[in-house]
């Protein structure tokens, strides 16, 4: 596991590599962000961004999703995986927003998690991006980077990864670190072919060092 000084070095490196890191899901208000994040479960942001421009042109508010037949909404998002379930959840969460929250997206994680299709990760993203609430949402990239760099243990659950990161990273850096770790994992420390050769953190990364040794043996 990395010590405090090593973690600080990693955070500074993430910032140097990806100073402009931010949420890549296209949206113009909290409701659009909420729908986009629900759609992005087990799908890439790039794919979601291909679907949402037309979707957000057609559906402006929760009432619009409530009014449309389920089959029509499913058809509008069918390019995205799990579209049947996601359409049901979007209609359900829209209903809840109208009935309980006056048609507005609530700002707290607890209230967000009461909505259909919204788990801890989605709630963290929406609270952080839309309402500037400090949060670290652990997606596949954040989890992979955290474990490879030994911010946490390989056996840790997603919740344990989140709690460890919250403990080891200053609260004022939670949200921005979340975005930088996503960019680091998406564009550099990729799942299949991490760019270990050019990684400025290789000297801290046991996983990367193992991969490099393996490469040397096979070359």
CA angle 118, 192, 202 (to 5 degrees): 100
205 has binding-site annotation:
yes
> Whose CA is closest to 129, among 11, 62, 45?
45
Q: CB of 53 within 8 A of CB of 45? A: no
199 has binding-site annotation:
yes
d(CA 30, CA 93): 13
d(CA 185, CA 166): 18
Q: Three-class SS of residue 116?
A: coil
23 has binding-site annotation:
no
Q: Of 121, 210, 214, 217, which is the active-site residue?
A: 121
Q: Which alpha helices (DSSP H) does 18-169 contain, by range?
A: 30-39, 45-58, 62-67, 70-76, 83-100, 109-112, 120-131, 140-148, 158-168
Q: Of 100, 139, 155, 190, which is the active-site residue?
A: 139
10 has binding-site annotation:
no
**75 assigned to active site:** no
**121 assigned to active site:** yes
Which residues are marked as active site? 121, 139
Known binding site: residues? 189, 196, 199, 205
Known binding site for [4Fe-4S] cluster: residues? 189, 196, 199, 205
């Amino acid at each position: 596991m990395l010590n405090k000084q090593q973690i600080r070095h990693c955070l500074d490196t993430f910032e140097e590599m990806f100073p402009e890191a931010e949420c890549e899901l296209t949206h113009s208000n909290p409701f659009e962000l909420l729908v986009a994040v629900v759609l992005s479960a087990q799908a890439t942001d790039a794919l979601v961004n291909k679907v949402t421009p037309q979707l957000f042109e057609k559906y402006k508010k929760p009432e619009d999703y409530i009014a449309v037949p389920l089959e029509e909404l499913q058809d509008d998002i069918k390019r995205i995986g799990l579209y049947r379930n996601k359409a049901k959840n979007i209609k359900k969460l829209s209903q809840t927003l109208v009935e309980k929250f006056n048609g507005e997206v609530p700002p707290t994680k607890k209230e967000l998690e009461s909505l259909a299709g919204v788990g801890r990760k989605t709630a963290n993203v929406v609270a952080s991006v839309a309402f500037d609430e400090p949060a670290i949402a652990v997606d596949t990239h954040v989890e992979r980077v955290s474990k490879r760099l030994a911010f946490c243990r390989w056996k840790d659950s997603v919740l344990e990864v989140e709690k460890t990161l919250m403990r080891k990273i200053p609260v004022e850096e939670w949200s921005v670190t979340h975005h930088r770790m996503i960019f680091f994992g998406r564009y550099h420390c990729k799942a299949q072919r991490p760019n270990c050769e050019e990684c400025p953190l290789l000297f801290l990364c046991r996983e990367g060092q193992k991969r490099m040794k393996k490469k040397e043996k096979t070359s």
